[in-house]
Homo-oligomer: A and B are copies of this chain.
Amino acid sequence: MKNIGLSELARRIGEPSISWLMKLTLERPEVISLAAGFTDNESLPVEDTRELLDEILGSKKSGRTALQYGTSMGDPILRELTALHLQFEDTGRSPKRIADAYTPGRMVVTNGSQQLLYLIAEALCDPGDIILLEDPTYFVFLGITALRGVRCRGIRMMPDGIDLEHLERVLDELARSGDLRRIKFLYLVSYFQNPSGVTTRFEKKLAALELLRRYERKAGHPIYLLEDAAYRELRFAGESVPSALAAPGGAERVIYTGTYSKPFASGSRVGFGLMPEELSKTVLRLKGNHDFGTSNLLQQLTARALHSGKYARHVAVLRKRYARKSVVMRDAIREHFPDDVDWSEAEGGLYIWARLPRRMKSGMKSRLFQRALAHDVVYVPGELCYAEDAARPRPNHEMRLSFGGAVETALRQGIERLGKAIHET
């Protein structure tokens, strides 16, 4: 390629594999996408949003506030409502006062939680630094680590979250190689994980925090726990699990990120992060340089949705809807997939993770993927969800199947087609 003057960072960016998948589904509308992380289209809160915006813009006073610039930190009412909501979710009761870990002064409103992930990586990571993350993990986050030149270490997953013994082994290894001071944080997608669907048990969060603490002295700085709770609101089965913010000392070590995109209006792209105060100052200044603040109009919309109760009612509807769609996908998998494909029922979120027998490859260049394409269906190949990590080969026999975007008939048909492709491989 000719030299167009790119920075080192820019030269590290590869074309995201997923963009090829997205282009494909746009160009071939007959293809059923079980790959896209889109939210359910039919239940998008069109009427709620219209009413809320009508209220905001129906008065000159609130209308002008919504259409004027805000602050980099975000709307104070939205931050307070979010803090109250989170603390309620974590403790199960309406708080009399907001506890330290949840104070709105430690919160930054962002353009979806994706922006918060970017800001955190930017604030903490130099090229050569190390991030610990789940094996598998959220693949767009892997794009961020790549462009920042960060090294990743994958931690094995169990049905209730990361394998703590493996985490300890990796930490020990890094201590021996003198790399501890390069570790910045452990990244967990803690609820209905993208892509595996796993929810991390609260006790595991506590144990992970304690373990990280033990290695901090040698690291010379905090080793944070970055908890990405993007799917938390989308629970439709099982018990609720508190976030790591509720852990003793959570206020000092946990960076928590959540979003209103997935549980409410995806097109509004409002997310947030809570983090230790010192770090929040840096993130806030970075955000000031990125865009000096998320759209005030969207923040007012979100705040009013929360306050009016429309948000809570919508989430209740959405949970039923995704519960139903997950059952449709589950039943189709039972009917059409061979018995040696391993998968678990979803308790929330948007995904079912299917493991083929190890001999059966699922990657973009695999025969299975080609057969699936020939049958007009696509999925996210598991290999895209694993970090580059010299300590293990990259697994290549899994599939992320999304029941979020497609309608029920498409879900059924998509799984049927995929079943055919598997049988033919």
Contacts and interface: CB of A to CB of B under 8 A. Distances in A.
Given A53-B53, A269-B295, A10 B286 contact: yes
A115 interface: yes
Contacts of A13: 282, 285-286, 289
A69 B140 CA distance: 15
A54 B47 CA distance: 10
Output the residue of A16, A47, A289 with the most chain B CB within 10 A. Answer: A289
A273 to B, nearest CB: 13
Contacts of A105: none
A5 B224 contact: yes
Q: How large is the interface on A (under 10, 10 to 19, 20 to 34, 35 or more residues)?
A: 35 or more
21 contacts: A3-B220, A4-B276, A4-B279, A5-B184, A5-B219, A7-B125, A9-B122, A9-B123, A13-B286, A39-B69, A44-B68, A47-B57, A49-B57, A53-B57, A67-B265, A111-B290, A115-B290, A118-B290, A144-B289, A267-B297, A269-B295
Nearest to A216: B5
B123 A266 contact: no
A3 B220 CA distance: 7
Q: How many copies does the complex hold?
A: 2
Interface of A: 3-10, 13, 15-16, 19, 22, 37-39, 41-42, 44-47, 49-50, 53-54, 57-58, 60, 63-71, 110-112, 114-115, 118, 122-126, 129, 140, 143-144, 147, 184, 219-224, 261, 265-269, 276, 278-279, 282, 285-286, 288-298
